[in-house]
């Protein structure tokens, strides 16, 4: 008998299948490759490069010409998919993979992607980054109609829709499914003949096409191409399906032409700085944001200090624009794991110190400009400001490299409910007092669009998905009509 500790504690919450649900959807990264002798090893490397998009779990499905193989594991790609035995089991020349965001609370292995279903015409595996805004509505209809759902993931409805399509070819069934769903999605899918990539009609979530020695691949970001030395070919377009097979790359439009409207948060926070998203360097955008921020909100100060690592490029831009020296006044501990037991006495601000520590030598007696990428709840900012003062900072001028976040996301970024967003409930002075800085400034929305290289935000048809700053959601939010306020917050989680 096998004694391998296979856990799989599974809790079926009947309510959760309907409208509620603790961990319905989270943020993710995806990768796929077609026709390479080391397909699974390359997917593992690609996922490793995309690890910043999700650390909770990872999965790979491969196809060896006859059989699909699947391995899905909690934890990091480097821990679960780096050994020869695992990769060896994932036989075949085509494979797709997925990394999933770390959320608190229950992970269940059945939700780890790629998901797989046996359709009448053959197997279909799907990995999804994004979030559907009508998944609960569709799921309700599917269950009414006799479908058995096995995960709590919104991605599963895509499989059911494809299974129930009456079209003969799997690619047609897949398109039927896409035309029924609403929201944000980048998808990679694997059949017994093809690798498929798809991006939602607005191109909210990113997806790029790459090539290595004649083999094509799909990835959430270009950094996943770079790690294996692959060539960036192009971004998948909004509303486009690419079908990669022995015949090469075929492009299909499944949605009416409309301007692209990618998520601006990829540039501000989410993508890796060395990635090029929709043709723009993330690092360059972040530095440009720093320059804009410096022009809008200069501070009299001695040093510019980033909150590492995401605040570094904007802080560099800020320092270069102002001429104030850039210093690593906060050191990041790279070994942050689980939450430690809190001593009952004497230790203050432990949470923030697990991840960041003040570099006294760089800040004691100085007036500092502290640059962070964004301000969400503000609870960490309070602690960082206090840590700076305890380390001897004479003044702390806080600069945020994005506009105030006033609305939750429903497209794949895990944001808190609206009432917990500091900028939704406080004005600027209120926020300054809350976090305890000597001054506080955010980047303006026009400044953000200038940093993106635009002259201005086209209000009729914005160039980017920016609802977190503006409240202008780019798609319908069907599930909101059947979900309670608490459930609305849940919708902000994503695949």
Residues marked active site are found at 28
Distances (CA, A) of 248 to 173, 193, 195, 216, 278: 21, 12, 10, 8, 23
Two structure tokens written together for 208: 């790029």
Pick from 251, 339, 379, 484 the residue near its own copies by CB under 8 A: 339
d(CA 375, CA 423): 8
Pick from 180, 227, 252, 488 the residue near its own copies by CB under 8 A: 227
Closest separation between CB of residue 265 and its own copies, Å? 19
Our CB check for its own copies shows the closer of 339 and 484 to be 339
Stretch 204-223 residues interacting with its own copies (CB under 8 A) = 212-213, 223
| Widest distance between CA atoms in the chain | 72
CB 386 within 8 A of CB 305: no
* Per-residue contact string for residues 76-105; x = within reach of its own copies by CB under 8 A: xxxx-xxxx--x-x------------x---
- Select from 116-124, 234-242, 377-385, 438-446 the region that touches its own copies (CB under 8 A): 116-124
d(CA 44, CA 50): 10
Determine if residue 373 is labeled as part of a ligand binding site.
yes
Pick from 24, 28, 31, 68 the residue near its own copies by CB under 8 A: 68
Closest separation between CB of residue 74 and its own copies, Å? 4
Determine if residue 414 is labeled as part of a ligand binding site.
no
- Select from 48-56, 181-189, 432-440, 471-479 the region that touches its own copies (CB under 8 A): 48-56
- What is the secondary structure of 309-332 as a DSSP string? TTTHHHHHHHHHHH-PPB---EEE
Is residue 389 helix, strand or coil? helix
Residues comprising the chain, all counted: 495
Stretch 257-316 residues interacting with its own copies (CB under 8 A) = 272-274, 276, 281-284, 309, 312-313, 316
Contacts of 412 by beta carbon, 8 Å cutoff, 6+ apart: 25, 26, 27, 28, 129, 130, 131, 184, 204, 205, 263, 494, 495
DSSP 294: H
Closest separation between CB of residue 406 and its own copies, Å? 30
Nearest C-alpha neighbor of 292 from the set 398, 381, 402, 373: 402
Strands (E), 67-114: 68-74, 94-100
Measured between its terminal Cα atoms, the distance across the chain in Å is 35
- Select from 59-67, 248-256, 371-379, 431-439 the region that touches its own copies (CB under 8 A): 59-67
Stretch 131-190 residues interacting with its own copies (CB under 8 A) = 143-144, 146-150, 156, 159-160, 163-165
Distances (CA, A) of 57 to 222, 371, 472, 474: 21, 31, 32, 29
Q: Note whether 377 binds its own copies by CB under 8 A.
A: no
* Per-residue contact string for residues 185-204; x = within reach of its own copies by CB under 8 A: -------x------------
CA torsion sign, 480 to 485 to 486 to 490?
positive
- Select from 14-22, 452-460, 472-480, 483-491 the region that touches its own copies (CB under 8 A): 14-22
Our CB check for its own copies shows the closer of 327 and 409 to be 327
Stretch 443-482 residues interacting with its own copies (CB under 8 A) = none
d(CA 19, CA 488): 10
Stretch 357-376 residues interacting with its own copies (CB under 8 A) = 357-362
Our CB check for its own copies shows the closer of 51 and 406 to be 51
Tokens 């030598």, residue located:
361
Q: Note whether 73 binds its own copies by CB under 8 A.
A: yes
Q: Note whether 333 binds its own copies by CB under 8 A.
A: yes
Contacts of 66 by beta carbon, 8 Å cutoff, 6+ apart: none
Determine if residue 372 is labeled as part of a ligand binding site.
yes
Tokens 């003969």, residue located:
168
Stretch 341-360 residues interacting with its own copies (CB under 8 A) = 341-350, 353-354, 357-360
Q: Note whether 484 binds its own copies by CB under 8 A.
A: no
Our CB check for its own copies shows the closer of 258 and 484 to be 484
Our CB check for its own copies shows the closer of 119 and 424 to be 119
Strands (E), 269-353: 276-277, 280-281, 303-306, 330-332
Specify the DSSP element, H or E, that contains 158.
helix 155-164
Pick from 331, 428, 461, 482 the residue near its own copies by CB under 8 A: 331
Is residue 127 helix, strand or coil? strand
Our CB check for its own copies shows the closer of 284 and 488 to be 284
Closest separation between CB of residue 421 and its own copies, Å? 25
Q: Note whether 17 binds its own copies by CB under 8 A.
A: yes
Stretch 233-252 residues interacting with its own copies (CB under 8 A) = none
Binding residues for Mg(2+): 310, 372-373
Binding residues: 310, 372-373
């Amino acid at each position: 008998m096998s004694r391998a500790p296979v856990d799989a504690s599974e809790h079926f919450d009947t309510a959760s299948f309907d409208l509620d649900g603790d961990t319905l959807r989270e943020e993710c990264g995806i990768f796929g490759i077609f026709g390479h002798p080391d397909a699974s090893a390359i997917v593992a490397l690609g996922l490793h490069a995309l690890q910043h998009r999700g650390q909770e779990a990872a999965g790979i499905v491969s196809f060896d010409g006859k059989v699909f193989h699947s391995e899905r594991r909690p934890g990091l790609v480097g821990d679960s998919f780096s050994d020869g035995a695992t990769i060896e089991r994932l036989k075949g020349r085509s494979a797709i993979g997925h990394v999933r965001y770390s959320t608190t609370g229950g992970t269940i292995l059945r939700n780890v992607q790629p998901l797989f279903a046996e359709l009448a015409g053959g197997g279909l595996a799907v990995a999804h980054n994004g979030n559907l805004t009508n998944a609960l509505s569709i799921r309700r209809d599917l269950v009414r109609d006799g479908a058995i759902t096995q995960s709590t993931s919104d991605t599963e409805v895509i499989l059911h829709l494809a299974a129930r399509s009456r079209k003969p070819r799997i690619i047609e069934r897949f398109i039927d499914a896409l035309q029924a769903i609403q929201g944000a999605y980048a998808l990679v899918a694997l059949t017994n003949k093809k690798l498929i990539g798809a991006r939602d009609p607005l191109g909210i979530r990113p997806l790029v096409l790459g090539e290595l020695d004649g083999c094509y691949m799909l990835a959430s970001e270009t950094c996943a191409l770079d790690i294996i030395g692959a060539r960036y070919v192009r971004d998948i377009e909004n509303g486009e399906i690419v079908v990669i097979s022995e015949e090469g790359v075929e492009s299909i439009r499944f949605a009416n032409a409309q301007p692209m409207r990618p998520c601006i948060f990829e540039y501000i926070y989410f993508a890796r700085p060395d990635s090029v998203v929709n043709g723009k360097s993330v690092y360059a955008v972040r530095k440009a944001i720093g320059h804009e921020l410096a022009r809008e909100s200069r501070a009299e100060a001695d040093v510019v200090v980033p909150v590492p690592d995401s605040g570094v490029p904007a802080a560099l831009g800020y320092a270069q624009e102002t001429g104030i020296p850039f210093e690593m006044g906060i050191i990041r501990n790279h070994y942050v794991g689980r939450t430690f037991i809190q001593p009952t006495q004497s230790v203050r601000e432990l949470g923030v110190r697990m991840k960041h520590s003040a570099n006294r030598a760089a800040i004691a007696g100085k007036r500092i400009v502290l640059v962070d990428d964004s301000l969400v709840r503000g609870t960490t900012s309070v602690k960082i400001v206090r840590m700076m003062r305890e380390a001897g900072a004479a003044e702390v001028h806080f600069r945020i490299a994005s506009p105030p976040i006033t609305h939750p996301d429903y497209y794949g970024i895990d944001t808190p409910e609206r009432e917990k967003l500091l900028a939704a409930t406080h004005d600027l002075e209120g926020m300054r007092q809350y976090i305890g800085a000597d001054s506080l400034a955010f980047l303006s929305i026009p400044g953000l669009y200038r940093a993106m290289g635009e002259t201005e935000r086209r209000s009729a048809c914005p160039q980017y998905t920016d609802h977190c700053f503006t409240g202008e959601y780019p798609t319908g939010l069907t599930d909101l009509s059947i979900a309670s306020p608490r459930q609305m917050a849940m919708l902000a989680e994503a695949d």
